[in-house]
Structure 1
Amino acid sequence: MAGHTDGAITVEHHGHIAHVVLDRPKKLNAMTVAMDHQMNDLVHALNNDANVRVILLSGAGDRAFSAGSDITDLDEYGDNWSYRNRFDARTDYARAMWLNRKPVVAAIHGYCIGGGLEMACASDIRIATPEASFGAGEIKWGWHGGSGQTQLLTHLIGPGYASRLLLTGDRIDGAEALRIGLVQQIVPFSDLIDTAMAVALTIAGMSPIAVEKTKSMVRLAQNAPLDVALLAENDSFAYLMMTEDAAEGRAAFAEKRPPVFKGR
């Protein structure tokens, strides 16, 4: 990694993968308002970069994925009406993560709490270490998370497990997160980035059109009635079958060779 710039977000490009690093290790990668703006600008840029097909998200250092928002920086958001409108003001990092069109693979070690948990929930695939610590502790201070914490977490693990975390503020480790379906794989810290990168590389080798459409179909399954979603899936499938990538996939299958997808 290029040198740390403690208090920023750094990006490394590996072929079609953008490795986004929450780079504030001395503060457990807690997010500031300045980092909010940077994340929103970054997501906009990545969504419109045809060379980027997958995003790998991780935290710098060996103590945290992210401890969420830096509470000492919250006054920078302005009054309560401004804070309520932070989505439109592009000052919400977890919302920005949710707006990624490209798949996001989160590599999680150490603290993943508050807004860090929201970023993890907004990701598509979560790989963690046994030492990962997941928590929604806002209830202890008189509020709940406001950038998807109550909603995305409930969609991911169901109302019972979500309520247990949201209403008690208790933390769970990587093994428990795997058991309840919050994460998809547990690996040692030494293997975390390599494992997440391998998943990202697999996805990056697929047709980028098919990947983005598949992500949108999974999102639709979380939000639409089944009959409506099935119709939308069929329309999406019909569209994909007419792409150049689909033709390349059929040719590669017939010729017994790996396909070379171009995103057309």
Structure 2
Amino acid sequence: MPEHVQTEITDGIGILTINRPDALNALDGPTLKQLDAAFDRLNRDTDVRVIVLAGAGDRAFVAGGDIRDLNSRRGLAHYQELAEDLHGCFARIEASDKPTISAIDGWALGGGVELLLCTDMRIAGASATFGLPEINLGLFPGAGGTQRLIREIAPCRARELMFTGNRIDADTALSLGLVNSVIENGSVLDAAKAMAATVASKSPLVLKLMKRTLRHGVSMPQPAALAYEQAMIGLVLDSDDAHEGCGAFIEKRQPEFQGR
């Protein structure tokens, strides 16, 4: 089977690259399985503190699902096969205790937008293009897009993108809060690595507990979420890293976090 997903680990940063540039890094069944397996390996690797997702080449991050593959499917088989794999993989990325960053060069369409919605932070190149064009194919976003996008940006704008299938440029995506920053073309992966290096220098244990606080708290009523936060910060204050960080501040030195 061709290798459609590549991984690299440098200085605590795991870089996961979807490598189907001739197909604009579209996600078909085999690529999705490789993506899931590769992400799982990085997620389990204790030397990896931050994971960066990127697409090979400068034409696309992920240009969506493979249309020929989708056209070959019918409802129940799709539900039991590709949709199950899509939702499982994307949910695992979203639920990772490690911070994740999308480096978006070129097109992020359909499943590409749905994938980046599962990551914590996103950096886009100036010529990046975003869209959910499924409606033009007689479909709608079915890999979590309907649920994640409407929770991420203003609901009326989310509906507009999904109902019209229109594409937006990087600056519009920034104004909507879909990405964190827009930088010059050709520098996206370097910028994502720089952001990852900053995050990787923090306590991996505290990041893990903060991610859990954010992820679970958002679905709770606010009083319950605040109580949950109070309990989680109590766990943090039991860690060596919390006292290393405070001690380093008092002693005017850089902290050395060990994840304990």
Unpaired runs of at least 5, structure 2: none
Cα offset, 1:165, TM superposition = 0.2
**Secondary structure of 2:142's aligned partner:** coil
Letter in 2 for 1:148: G
The answer to whether residue 83 in structure 2 is matched with residue 80 in structure 1 is no
Letter in 2 for 1:227: P
TM-score, structure 1 normalization: 0.91
**Secondary structure of 1:122's aligned partner:** coil
Change (3 A) 1:248 1:86: farther
Distance 1:8 1:19 in 2: 14
Residues 97 and 207, structure 2, Cα contact 8 Å, conserved in 1: no
1:139 to 135, 138, 145: 135
The answer to whether residue 32 in structure 2 is matched with residue 36 in structure 1 is yes
TM-score, structure 2 normalization: 0.93
Unpaired runs of at least 5, structure 1: none
Change (3 A) 1:230 1:86: farther
Distance 1:122 1:91 in 2: 12
Residues 125 and 183, structure 2, Cα contact 8 Å, conserved in 1: yes
Aligned to 1:215: 211
1:174 to 170, 173, 182: 170
Identity %: 36
Map 1:51-70; keep pairs closer than 5 Å.
51-70=47-66
Cα offset, 1:123, TM superposition = 0.7
Distance 1:163 1:9 in 2: 32
Cα offset, 1:47, TM superposition = 2.2
Cα offset, 1:157, TM superposition = 0.6
Q: Deviations over 1:7-44 (max 9, x none)?
A: 51101111111011111111101112111111222222
Map 1:1-264; keep pairs closer than 5 Å.
8-74=4-70, 80-86=75-81, 90-92=85-87, 93-264=89-260
Distance 2:220 2:155 in 1: 18
Cα offset, 1:94, TM superposition = 3.1
Distance 1:27 1:96 in 2: 24
Q: Deviations over 1:130-159 (max 9, x none)?
A: 211100011111221112101111111121
Distance 2:84 2:159 in 1: 30
**Secondary structure of 1:44's aligned partner:** helix
Letter in 2 for 1:127: I
Residues 59 and 105, structure 2, Cα contact 8 Å, conserved in 1: yes
Cα offset, 1:217, TM superposition = 2.1
Distance 2:205 2:90 in 1: 24
